Amino acid sequence: MKALLALEDGRTFTCQSFTGPGEAHGEVVFNTSMTGYQEILTDPSYRGQMVTMTYPLIGNYGVNEDDIESDRIQVAAFIVREYQQYPSNFRSVSTLADYLQKQGILGVQELDTRALTRHIRKAGAMRGIISTQDLDPSSLSQKARQIPSMAGQDLVKSVTTTRPYFWQNGKPVFADLDKATLNSKVWNFKAKKYSVAVFDFGVKYNILRCLEKVGCEVLVLPALTSAKTVRDLDPDGIFLSNGPGDPQPVTYAVETIKSLLGYRPIFGICLGNQLLGLAIGGETYKLKFGHRGANQPVKNLLTGRIEITSQNHGFAVDTKSMEDKGVEVTHINLNDDTFEGFRHHGYDAFSVQYHPEASPGPHDAGYLFEDFVKKMKKR
Cβ–Cβ under 8 Å, residues 249 and 240:
no
β-partners of residue 299 are 306, 332
Question: Helix %, strand %, coil % for the chain, to 5?
Answer: 25, 30, 45
| Among 270, 307, 313, 340, the one annotated catalytic | 270
| Among 27, 217, 340, 357, the one annotated catalytic | 357
Q: Read off the amino acid at residue 293.
A: G
340 is catalytic: no
357 is catalytic: yes
Alpha helices per DSSP H over the chain: 37-41, 96-102, 113-123, 137-145, 205-213, 227-233, 251-260, 271-280, 367-378
Which residues have CB under 8 Å from 107's CB, separation 6+?
17, 18, 19, 77, 78, 79, 80, 83, 96, 97, 100
Rounded Cα distance, 197 and 183, in Å: 11
98-124: b (≥16 Cβ within 10 Å) or e: ebbbeeebbbbbbbebeebbebbeeee
Closest CA to 53 of 357, 312, 271: 312
Rounded Cα distance, 86 and 80, in Å: 15
Cβ–Cβ under 8 Å, residues 240 and 257:
yes
Rounded Cα distance, 76 and 87, in Å: 23
CB under 8 Å, gap of 24 or more: what pairs does 97-102 form?
97/18, 97/19, 97/59, 99/38, 99/41, 99/63, 99/73, 100/19, 100/41, 100/73, 101/19, 101/20
Q: How far is CA 146 from the centre of its chain?
A: 25
270 is catalytic: yes
**Catalytic center residues:** 270, 355, 357
